[in-house]
Amino acid sequence: MTQHYIDPSPANFAAFKDLPRDEPIHMLNLLQYRELAEYPEGHEHHGNGWSGQRAYKEYGKTSGPIFARVGGSIVWRGSFQTMVTGPDGKQWHDGFVAQYPSSAAFFEMIKDADYQKAVVNRTAALVDSRLMRFAPGEAGGGFG
């Protein structure tokens, strides 16, 4: 059985919260969109026929000002082409790295009431995702 991940598990989120909150972080996002977005019944976009990708764009539009206000920025974005190392058949539609001045800024964003309204678009958009925290490192040079 294939497992899909949209939101963090309680254990993973607890581990994230236990890390230092006062240093810059990079968050690698891997996204697999639903063919059709799945909004909850009663939501303003329920039944509108949007693709998952369109719903994710709505998430970007509605969460973007909050992301910018807490000091977030996108440091890399790309579209998936093929799996080189990893499970056969696993595909991602898009990926990006979001930079935050600190995990405290990330927490400020996700606690914001307007963000909590916006995140419904993300949930409706995605069939699977990964969100991984990294400490920023030096760019350039070789491997290792």
Q: Strand 73-79 and strand 25-33: pairing?
A: unpaired
Q: Look at residue 1 and tell me whether its pLDDT is greater than 70.
A: no
Does the 21-134 domain belong in CATH 3.40.50.300?
no
pLDDT band at 66 (very low <50, low <70, confident <90, very high): very high
The full set of domain ranges for the chain reads: 21-134
Q: For 79-101, how does the pLDDT look when each residue is reduced to its tens digit (9 = 90+)?
A: 999 999 988 878 999 999 999 99
Distance between CA atoms of residues 41 and 113, nearest Å: 20
Q: For 115-144, how does the pLDDT look when each residue is reduced to its tens digit (9 = 90+)?
A: 999 999 999 999 999 999 999 998 887 877
- Residue 100: closest CA among 4, 20, 12: 20
Q: For 19-60, how does the pLDDT look when each residue is reduced to its tens digit (9 = 90+)?
A: 999 999 999 999 999 999 999 999 999 999 999 999 999 999
33 pairs with which residues across the strands? 126
What pLDDT was estimated at residue 2? 64
